[in-house]
């Protein structure tokens, strides 16, 4: 298989030496522990591409903030609904009390 990867004449895609090394490492470890291999390759990729890591950090911060905003909006909406329901019940109680007098 390594011979196939290295034989550039037979392949449509020309791999660099670094890509071949990465593929060999992935293949060697993929049969052993898939989760740890995937994690290792993700960490290696992020280490090699700091701009991607920064983009992921920014995206994570945006998601965390947006989740906070959604919960705050839901809490506000539920508060308004609860207050309106309490007012309606209070109003009904007052009307009932007037009708029984």
My answer on whether 42 and 6 are in the same domain is: yes
My answer on whether 40 and 7 are in the same domain is: yes
Predicted confidence at residue 1, as pLDDT, reads: 60
CB 20 within 8 A of CB 6: yes
My answer on whether 54 and 44 are in the same domain is: no
Predicted confidence at residue 92, as pLDDT, reads: 72
pLDDT at 101 over 60: no
My answer on whether 54 and 20 are in the same domain is: no
My answer on whether 64 and 77 are in the same domain is: yes
Predicted confidence at residue 90, as pLDDT, reads: 78
**Distance between CA atoms of residues 45 and 38, nearest Å:** 10
My answer on whether 43 and 59 are in the same domain is: no
**Distance between CA atoms of residues 54 and 19, nearest Å:** 23
My answer on whether 38 and 78 are in the same domain is: no
Split at pLDDT 50, 70, 90, the class of 8 is low
The winner for highest mean pLDDT among 18-22, 26-30, 35-39 is 18-22
CB 1 within 8 A of CB 27: yes
pLDDT in tens, 32-79: 667 777 788 888 888 888 898 899 889 888 888 888 888 888 888 888
My answer on whether 60 and 77 are in the same domain is: yes
Distances in Å between the alpha carbon of 89 and those of 32, 76, 83, 86, 92? 65, 20, 10, 5, 5
How many structural domains is the chain composed of? 2
| Domain with 1 in it | 1-48
Predicted confidence at residue 66, as pLDDT, reads: 84
Split at pLDDT 50, 70, 90, the class of 100 is low
């Amino acid at each position: 298989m390594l011979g196939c990867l290295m034989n550039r004449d037979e392949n449509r895609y020309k791999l660099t030496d670094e890509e071949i090394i990465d593929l060999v490492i992935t293949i060697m470890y993929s049969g052993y522990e898939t989760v740890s291999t995937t994690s290792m390759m993700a960490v290696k990729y992020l280490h090699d591409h700091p701009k991607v890591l920064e983009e992921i950090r920014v995206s994570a911060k945006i998601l965390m903030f947006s989740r906070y905003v959604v919960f705050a909006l839901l809490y506000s909406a539920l508060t308004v609904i609860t207050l309106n329901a309490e007012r309606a019940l209070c109003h009904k109680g007052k009307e009932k009390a007037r009708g029984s007098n």
